[in-house]
Amino acid sequence: MLQNTTPLSDGFFMPGEFEPQRGCLMVWPERPGSWPYEAREARKAFAEIIRKIARSEEVFVAVSEKGEASAKELLSQVPNVRLFRAETEDAWARDIGPTFVKNKEGLVRAVNWEFNAWGGAYNGLYASWEKDNAFAQFFAREQGYEMYEAAPFVLEGGAIHSDGQGTVLVTEACLLSPGRNPKLSKEEIEQKLFLYLGAKKVIWLPRGIYNDETDEHVDNFCAFIRPGEVVLAWTEDVNDPQYEMSMAGLRVLEAETDACGRKLLVHKLPVPEYPVCVKEEELCGYSFEEGEDTREAGERLAASYVNFYFSNDAVLMPAFGGENEESDKRAESILRKLCPEREVLPIPARAILLGGGNIHCITQQIPLGRTR
């Protein structure tokens, strides 16, 4: 654990997700309050995602004692997958895993944030999160990555996107929520991002995706596809509450330049045309603990195509199916044009969205590089 320096002082910075990766960290799903019917559908979706990522990078999958049998059944034949034993509260590797930084000599290190289940006592989504909070440090130690300690600063991996060249995207709704770092000013929070992501500029989008229980993580709303270019979740429907949220983001992006002084090219990526809502029959499959945020039938889920994952050779894009089949195709066609160097793979992701996030939320990239 590196206690007396920061990534910034040591010349480390967070690379873009579109840069070459060593691998991807994931957690096998299990929590009954997130994944209905013993995570049956969720595990199928996770396994499909793991298979697709493992084509071009190593996938490290944390598995609990209880989850081991199903993980082995679905994954043991897949090359490039490494199962390892770890107990966690849930399966959001993006938010509980380390954030990785690298330097110009190809050395990779980890950053550990304080994790409080997206808001702690204020509006956190579960009552205890000790195992989740210990997970990043455990994984970094196991894999031999030196680690910077950013705690007690509270942050999740889904709350940030980096262009790899000094620019970080966040939302005010999330980073300024009283559940994270209520004693820090916006300027002090920005300073933390500079220090621990080696960043030079933070672009603050006001809002994220409507009804996103992470306080509107940026990774569901806006993402770099390369330096100078972003995709932004969009709708043309002025009656949708998403409309004003997306417009507010667009206004900021069009007025801003990045850390290198470039104007940003903004590509609109329309959200599914029909709201994706929890169904009565799905609701029966959940089993909620005391203190845990619950779901209701008809509740609108935070469906967005921006929640994709860049693997070394593909874009794993959430697909929602059903009445949104046309929307899925539109998103696929947009991403295919924007990312010609990767194969765009739509993955049926309703089962993951029912847990409260999507493909980007359950993955955490590990940049290619040396640990020493």
Site string for a second copy, 216-255 (x = CB under 8 A): ----------xxxx--------------------------
Residue with tokens 């490290």: 60
What is the C-alpha separation between 85 and 30, in angstroms, rounded? 14
Q: How far is the CB of 312 from a second copy (least distance, A)?
A: 5
Q: Which of 65, 105, 187, 280 binds a second copy (CB under 8 A)?
A: 105
Please identify which of the residues 24, 174, 222, 361 carries the catalytic annotation.
361
What is the arrangement of strands in the sheet containing 58-63, beginning at the earlier edge strand? 81-85, 58-63, 21-27, 364-367
Q: Which residue has the tokens 């939320």?
A: 361
User: Which residues, 46 to 75, sit near a second copy by CB under 8 A?
Assistant: 54-57
Binding residue (CB under 8 A) for a second copy from 21, 112, 220, 363:
21
Q: Does 200 bind a second copy (CB under 8 A)?
A: no
Residue 177 CA to residue 180 CA, distance in Å, equals 6
**Residue 162, H or E segment:** strand 161-162
**Residues in Cβ contact with 180 at an 8 Å cutoff, skipping those fewer than 6 apart:** 116, 119, 154, 155, 174, 215
**Side-chain-facing half-sphere of 238: CA atoms under 13 Å:** 0
CB 306 within 8 A of CB 219: yes
- Residue 339 bears catalytic tag: no
- Least distance to a second copy, CB of residue 65, Å: 30
- 166 binds a second copy, rule: CB under 8 A: no
Q: Which is nearer to a second copy, 69 or 260 (CB)?
A: 260
Smallest gap from Cβ 143 to a second copy, in A, equals 18
Between 107 and 283, whose beta carbon lies closer to a second copy?
A: 107
Q: Are 252 and 205 in contact (CB under 8 A)?
A: yes
Residue 19 binds a second copy, judged by CB under 8 A: yes
Q: Which one, 65 or 341, has the nearer CB to a second copy?
A: 341
User: Within 320-359, which residues bind a second copy (CB under 8 A)?
Assistant: 340-341
168 closest CA partner among 16, 306, 369: 16
Q: Which chain residues interact with a second copy by CB under 8 A?
A: 16, 18-21, 54-57, 79-80, 104-106, 164-165, 226-229, 262, 312-313, 340-341, 368-370
